[in-house]
Each structure stands twice: as structure tokens, then as C-alpha cells.
């Protein structure tokens, strides 16, 4: 089977990491599957694939060249990840599309209605979580079948984590936050949490990672908020960091915790990464995080907007060693039981084979008619 993943932006973001994870598992366990990735633009992300998979990654901007590349490639499936343009570029009915929906920004999903009503429809839609499946079903209905294809953590991620040595610059506990500086990731709530926590204890440092591509106006608002809340002296901001495992290890070794204040996620990759690095998490109680943490057994939840609750949960992880160890052990064990890479890819490939068989049967029926 020959697969082509299509994503318009090649950055150092979550989708690129997910794609590399998939290529690794496919290469290790499925020699009968070949997979390539097509990006429309490279914003520095191609180097993520330079070690093993550079020959599988293509950067093509021109629509005519993209069309030629796809047709000549004779792929069994073209898998679009939030890239509706590919449906416009390829009008050949012989191409079988699958649409992956990952974006948790509702305005960025406006394209779905035109895809569902268009001539070139995908034969299936995949999403990373059961919660997100319900969201997409509500938005576009069930005319096109929707399947859950979870994200996962690769063994190579853990191996790199284990190989990294970090030296904490302070004997204080790091409270970490990772994400874009936007309203959905809800950075302002983390600052409110930090203000209250800093008033209660003097043994914490706030480590904020992300925001490299944010507008200057947003960065200014971010620093003004830190200054207003008197958090500048106790906050370390890193616009971008790689490998991210070093951040989680820094937090874990300091006996701190990772916090996500997000208002909405399709999956919650940073929470899963944190759990894989044995770094305990405190999350807003959105449905995506409830699914990952098994409603709080593998991570502590707080009501979104409830600053007192968030601070209470953080204090519990910082001060109660038994609770801390239970959360770490539960999350690590459940993570690899529920998100085992080999099983997820095996189930996904089985789905692809079933879809291929259905397409073959449908084509044969049309030929007879």
C-alpha cells in the first residue's frame, strides 16, 4: 500500500511530529507500506525528517506540479490533514482521499462544509479523539464516516528523554506551560494562576514555552500581564525549544508540574508528552483532557476559570508525595496501554485495507452497471 500525507505547512509543530512518529512505526513494523509526505511550504520543519526520512518528504508549492506529483505517484490514499486545497488541485476521480481533521480552532474548520458538499469528497474522515469525533459529527453530520485515529508517543521520544541530562539552574519547583500565545491556549489564565500561587509560596518558578510566531502586540500584552501580576522576576519565557523533552525533564526533576489551561483541544499532545516524561499534569477539565487523564486518575483536573481550584491542585502535586507518585505511575502506565504506537498503526492500516476493499467492490459494481 502506498500512502501520501498532505499538509500545507512544514513547521516544527505538533502535526509534523505526529507524521514523523507514524513514519517511524510504519518503517519498523510494516515493510509492505510506503508513506510519503507532501508539504506546500517549508518553514523550517523539514529538518525534523533529515535523519531518516528526508527522501520521503516533498516540498511543492505550484498547484500544477502538485497535481502532477500526486497523479504520477499512484498512491492508494491521499491523506489530507486540514489542507482543503488539495481537493481543488486534484480532480481525478481515481484518487482516493481521506481527510484528517486536527485543528481545534473552529474558524479553521470552516472548510469542512465545502468539502462535504463538494464533488471531490473524501471516503473517510479521521480525528484524534472520541471527543473530537463528536464535535465534527455535530458540525458536518455523518454522511462521510468518521473514525478515531489517536496520536501517540513513539519509543524514540522516550529514548531521547532518557538520554538527556538537564541541570536545573534553581532549587525551586518549575511550573510549566507550553503553547501558542492565543486565547484558545489561554495563557492569561496561567498568569492568573501564577499570581495566586506566587502569593502563597516562594519556592516556584514559572516556565512558559511558546509564542515564537506571535504578533508583537500579543507579546507586549503578555509581558504587560506578567509585569502587572508581579511575575516577571519569577518567570522564564522561552519562545521555542527543542528537544521539548528537556523542558519536561527540567519540570519533573524539580518536583514541579505541567499545567494546561487550554479552552479547547482536539487531542492534547503536550499533556500526553508530559505524562510520557513522568511529569505530572494539572489540566483544565475540557473533554479532551478528561479523555486523556481518565477523568482525573492520570492527571489532576480543575474547572476552567477556577483559579483557586487550579492552585489547589498544583499545591497537591507539589506537597503530597504520595499523590504525586500515584499520578505519575497511573499516567505512565495508562498512556502506553491506551496509546500503544504499534497497535494504533496496526488498527489504522487495517481500516485502510477495509476502505480499499470497499472502494474496489464499489468500482466493480459500477463497471457491471
Give the ranges where the chain is alpha helix by DSSP (H): 14-29, 63-73, 85-89, 111-117, 130-140, 155-163, 187-200, 216-228, 245-253, 269-276, 287-292, 307-319, 321-338, 341-368
What pLDDT, on the 0 to 100 scale, is given for residue 296?
85
Cα–Cα distance for residue pair 104/90, rounded to 1 Å:
26
Provide CB contacts within 8 A for 271, sequence distance 6+: 258, 260, 281, 283, 289, 292, 293, 299
Cα–Cα distance for residue pair 194/189, rounded to 1 Å:
8
What pLDDT, on the 0 to 100 scale, is given for residue 322?
96
Cα–Cα distance for residue pair 95/215, rounded to 1 Å:
39
Domains by residue range for the chain, with CATH: 2-152+340-368 (3.40.50.2000), 155-338 (3.40.50.2000)
Measure the CA angle with vertex 179, ends 227 and 79; round to 5°.
Answer: 160
Q: Mean pLDDT in each 10-residue stretch from start to end of the chain (369 residues)?
A: 97 90 96 97 90 94 97 97 96 92 96 91 96 97 96 93 92 96 97 99 97 94 98 96 94 98 96 97 96 92 98 98 96 91 96 92 52
Please state whether beta strands 281-284 and 257-260 pair in parallel, antiparallel, or not at all (unpaired).
parallel
Radius of gyration from C-alpha coordinates of the chain: 22
What pLDDT, on the 0 to 100 scale, is given for residue 362?
61
Phi, psi of 297 (to 5 degrees): -75, -30
Amino acid at each position: 500500500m502506498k500512502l501520501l500525507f498532505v499538509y500545507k505547512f512544514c513547521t516544527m509543530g505538533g502535526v509534523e511530529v505526529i507524521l514523523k512518529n507514524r513514519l517511524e512505526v510504519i518503517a519498523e513494523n510494516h515493510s509492505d507500506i510506503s508513506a510519503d509526505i507532501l508539504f506546500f511550504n517549508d518553514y523550517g520543519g523539514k529538518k525534523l525528517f533529515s535523519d531518516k526520512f528526508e527522501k520521503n518528504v516533498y516540498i511543492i508549492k505550484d498547484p500544477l506540479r502538485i497535481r502532477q506529483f500526486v497523479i504520477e505517484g499512484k498512491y492508494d490514499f491521499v491523506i489530507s490533514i486540514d489542507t482543503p486545497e488539495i481537493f481543488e488541485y486534484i480532480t481525478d476521480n481515481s484518487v482516493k482521499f481521506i481527510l484528517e481533521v486536527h485543528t481545534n480552532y473552529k474558524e479553521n474548520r470552516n472548510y469542512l462544509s465545502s468539502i462535504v458538499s463538494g464533488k471531490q469528497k473524501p471516503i473517510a474522515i479521521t480525528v484524534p479523539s472520541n471527543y473530537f469525533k463528536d464535535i465534527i459529527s455535530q458540525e458536518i453530520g455523518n454522511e462521510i464516516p468518521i473514525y478515531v485515529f489517536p496520536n501517540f508517543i513513539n519509543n524514540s521520544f522516550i529514548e531521547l528523554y532518557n538520554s538527556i541530562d538537564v541541570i536545573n539552574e534553581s532549587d525551586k519547583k518549575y511550573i510549566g506551560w507550553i503553547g501558542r500565545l492565543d486565547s484558545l491556549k489561554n495563557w492569561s489564565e496561567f498568569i492568573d494562576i501564577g499570581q495566586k500561587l506566587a502569593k502563597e509560596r516562594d519556592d516556584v518558578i514559572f516556565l512558559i514555552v511558546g509564542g515564537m510566531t506571535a504578533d508583537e502586540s500579543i507579546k507586549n500584552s503578555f509581558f504587560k500581564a506578567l509585569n502587572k501580576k508581579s511575575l516577571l522576576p519569577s518567570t522564564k519565557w522561552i519562545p521555542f525549544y527543542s528537544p521539548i523533552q528537556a523542558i519536561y525533564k527540567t519540570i519533573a526533576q524539580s518536583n514541579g508540574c505541567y499545567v494546561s489551561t487550554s479552552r479547547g483541544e482536539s487531542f492534547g499532545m503536550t499533556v500526553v508528552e508530559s505524562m510520557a516524561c513522568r511529569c505530572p499534569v494539572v489540566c483544565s477539565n475540557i473533554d479532551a483532557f478528561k479523555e486523556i487523564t481518565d477523568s482525573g486518575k492520570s492527571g489532576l483536573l480543575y474547572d476552567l476559570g477556577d483559579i483557586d481550584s487550579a492552585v489547589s491542585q498544583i499545591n497537591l502535586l507539589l506537597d503530597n508525595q504520595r499523590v504525586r507518585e500515584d499520578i505519575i505511575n497511573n499516567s505512565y502506565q495508562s498512556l502506553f496501554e491506551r496509546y500503544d504506537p504499534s497497535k494504533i498503526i496496526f488498527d489504522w492500516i487495517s481500516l485502510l485495507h477495509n476502505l480499499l476493499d470497499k472502494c474496489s467492490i464499489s468500482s466493480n459494481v459500477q463497471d457491471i452497471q
